[in-house]
């Protein structure tokens, strides 16, 4: 956690018509279909910067959600994260119209090569003067694997083994290959770089052989800020060893507290300063000028949740075909262990409630597992402040429902209250994304495993 007393905000979004609020693109005034336009995104960037956001956090997925019903029909019909464009190309345009806003990019270690990815992030870190983060994921859809040259998706253990080695290669390319003073730029002597300061990394591993050296000179942050969101045991181990910032997708305060404590313990066990990890739970703010206005907005949002689309999205997340269940069946009467287990993630948020499948889909339709906070600007700010002070998190990944109405509301109504309370700085803090998000930088902390 950083030294100052500011919370950090990241806008959580995706380069697609639908992200995690299935059906919301049908809400009156929703602009999601403009995701293909550069202007849509530069407007988002300006609004987020005006609100004092630290970064825009881009989700991404490869493949199509074809678990539900065993085919892709629902996903295509309802636009369930399909089609989805590459988010990384939004960054340079959004950087061009902002001064300080950062950008977190989700990239999978399963379908790319570390020598390639390292170059892409170095380039972006140069072009944005160090405003880049890398949200490391390992992918979960079979349809991505088959399209990208694998016969089938790797099992989870293999994906994480590969991710471990992938990060080792990237760290070596980013941190070790070029000395800080390797680039000399001495025109008189015709010497651009000193070859003694540019080293091979000679990586030979299970998944990759990468001799190096890195093809890029050092960028402001070298390693981008490392984000992660692992929730399984193996995922938590990976996050503890790699993450500087953690996106928590637990649905309740209690489960976030448990998660934060667990990750800090695991990080400490690896020799890291456990306070150095920053945590960002997802949150879905629904704000109105009055409590009644906020409630009315919330009702309209719930009305536009597309239950079938929501089930298609959940089926992909859970790798379980929920089309086989009667939507009006109560969860307690579902006997399949896999489904019961995975549904628990959602029903835990209100354990006494007698949930049906449809109700779970509706609940998760405003931002999957994240808490929804409905109220006046003051009430929403109260809840954010309470989480910040009592749960011990560092800020929030703010999820949109209506685009761009949810963000506009938040920036126009809630951010001024947060600023007034001193929870957001009056002026954007200067420096790289690492400095703005973690209060330290521009380089990876000395206790990070990549540097030791």
Within residues 104-143, the interface with a copy of itself by CB under 8 A covers: 111-113, 115-116, 119-120, 122-124, 126-129, 143
Closest CA to 100 of 431, 407, 440, 435: 431
Nearer to a copy of itself, 32 or 369 (CB): 32
With respect to a copy of itself, which residue has the nearer C-beta, 200 or 344?
200
- Residues 35-54 binding a copy of itself (CB under 8 A) are 36-38, 42
Tell me 412's DSSP state. I
Cβ-based nearer residue to a copy of itself, 33 or 353: 33
Give the residues across from 108 on adjacent strands: 137
Q: Within a 10 A sphere around the Cβ of 139, how many other Cβ atoms?
A: 22
Q: How many amino acids of this chain bind a copy of itself (CB under 8 A)?
A: 77
Q: Cα(419)–Cα(297) distance, rounded to whole angstroms?
A: 24
Structure tokens at 47: 């609004």
User: Which among 216-224, 357-365, 377-385, 439-447 is the span making contact with a copy of itself, rule CB under 8 A?
Assistant: 216-224
Copy the structure tokens of residue 100.
Answer: 């300080």
Stretch that binds a copy of itself, among 30-38, 323-331, 390-398, 431-439 (CB under 8 A): 30-38
- Minimum distance, C-beta of residue 140 to a copy of itself, in the bound complex (Å): 15
The alpha carbon of 93 is separated from its chain's Cα centroid by a whole number of angstroms, namely 20
Residue 92 engages a copy of itself in binding (rule: CB under 8 A): yes
3 state DSSP class of 324: helix
Asked if 385 is part of the footprint of a copy of itself (rule: CB under 8 A), the reply reads no
Q: Which of 179, 217, 295, 447 binds a copy of itself (CB under 8 A)?
A: 217
Question: What is the pattern of x (binds a copy of itself, CB under 8 A) and - over residues 138-167?
Answer: -----x--xxxx------------------
Binding letters toward a copy of itself, positions 4-23, x by CB under 8 A: -----------x-xx----x
Does residue 90 belong to the site contacting a copy of itself (CB under 8 A)?
A: yes
User: Assign residue 231 a region: left if phi > 0, alpha if psi is -120 to 50, beta otherwise?
Assistant: alpha
Four-point Cα dihedral 200, 202, 203, 206, nearest 10:
150
Using CB under 8 A as the binding rule, whether residue 216 contacts a copy of itself is answered as yes
Residue 362 in contact with a copy of itself, rule: CB under 8 A: no
Q: Residue for token digits 């088959």? A: 146
The whole-angstrom distance between residue 409's C-alpha and the CA centroid of its chain comes to 21
**What is the enclosing helix (H) or strand (E) of 102?**
strand 102-108
Which residue lies nearer to a copy of itself by CB, 82 or 368? 82
The contact mask relative to a copy of itself for 179-208 (x = CB under 8 A, - = no) is ------x-xx-xxxxxx--x---------x
Element (H, E) at 310: helix 307-318
Instruction: Give the footprint of a copy of itself on residues 420-439 (CB under 8 A).
Output: none
**Plot region of 134 (φ>0 → left; ψ -120 to 50 → alpha; else → beta):** beta
In the complex with a copy of itself, the residue whose CB is nearer, 233 or 299, is 299
């Amino acid at each position: 956690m950083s030294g100052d007393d500011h919370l950090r905000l990241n806008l959580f979004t995706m380069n697609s018509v639908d992200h995690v609020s299935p059906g919301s693109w049908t809400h009156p005034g929703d602009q999601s279909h403009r995701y293909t336009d550069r202007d849509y995104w530069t407007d988002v960037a300006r609004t987020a910067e005006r609100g004092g956001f630290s970064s825009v956090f881009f989700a991404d997925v490869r493949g199509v959600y074809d678990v539900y019903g065993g085919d892709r029909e629902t996903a295509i019909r309802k636009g369930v994260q399909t089609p989805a464009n590459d988010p990384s190309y939004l960054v340079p345009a959004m950087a061009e119209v902002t001064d300080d806003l950062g950008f977190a990019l989700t990239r999978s270690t399963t379908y790319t090569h570390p020598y390639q990815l390292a170059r892409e992030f170095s380039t972006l870190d140069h072009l944005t003067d160090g405003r880049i983060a890398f949200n490391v994921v390992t992918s979960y859809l079979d349809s991505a694997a088959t399209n990208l040259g694998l016969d089938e998706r790797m099992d989870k253990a293999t994906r994480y083994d590969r991710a471990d080695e992938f990060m080792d290669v990237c760290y070596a390319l980013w941190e070790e290959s070029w000395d800080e003073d390797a680039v000399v730029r001495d025109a008189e002597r015709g010497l651009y770089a000193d070859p003694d300061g540019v080293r091979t990394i000679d990586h030979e591993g299970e998944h990759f052989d990468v001799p190096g050296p890195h093809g890029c000179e050092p960028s402001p942050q070298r390693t981008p800020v490392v984000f992660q969101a692992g929730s399984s045991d193996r995922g938590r181990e990976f996050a503890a060893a790699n993450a500087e910032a953690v996106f928590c997708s637990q649905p309740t305060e209690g489960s976030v507290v448990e998660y934060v404590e667990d990750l800090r313990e695991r990080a400490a066990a690896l020799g890291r300063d456990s306070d150095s990890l920053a945590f960002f739970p997802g949150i879905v703010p629904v704000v109105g000028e009055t409590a009644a206005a906020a409630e009315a907005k919330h009702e309209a949002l719930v009305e536009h949740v597309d239950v079938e689309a929501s089930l298609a999205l959940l089926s992909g997340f859970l790798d379980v075909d929920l089309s086989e269940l009667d939507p009006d069946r109560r969860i307690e009467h579902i006997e399949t262990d896999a489904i019961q287990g995975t549904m628990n993630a959602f029903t835990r948020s209100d354990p006494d409630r007698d949930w049906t499948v449809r109700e779970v889909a509706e609940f998760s339709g405003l931002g999957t597992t994240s808490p929804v906070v409905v109220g006046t600007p003051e009430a929403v700010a109260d809840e954010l402040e309470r989480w910040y002070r009592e749960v011990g998190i560092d800020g929030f990944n703010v999820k949109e429902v209506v685009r761009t109405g949810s963000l506009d509301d938040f920036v126009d109504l809630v951010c001024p209250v947060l600023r007034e309370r001193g929870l957001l700085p009056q002026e954007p803090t200067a420096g790289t994304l690492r400095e703005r998000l973690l209060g330290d930088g521009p380089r990876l902390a000395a206790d990070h495993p990549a540097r030791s």
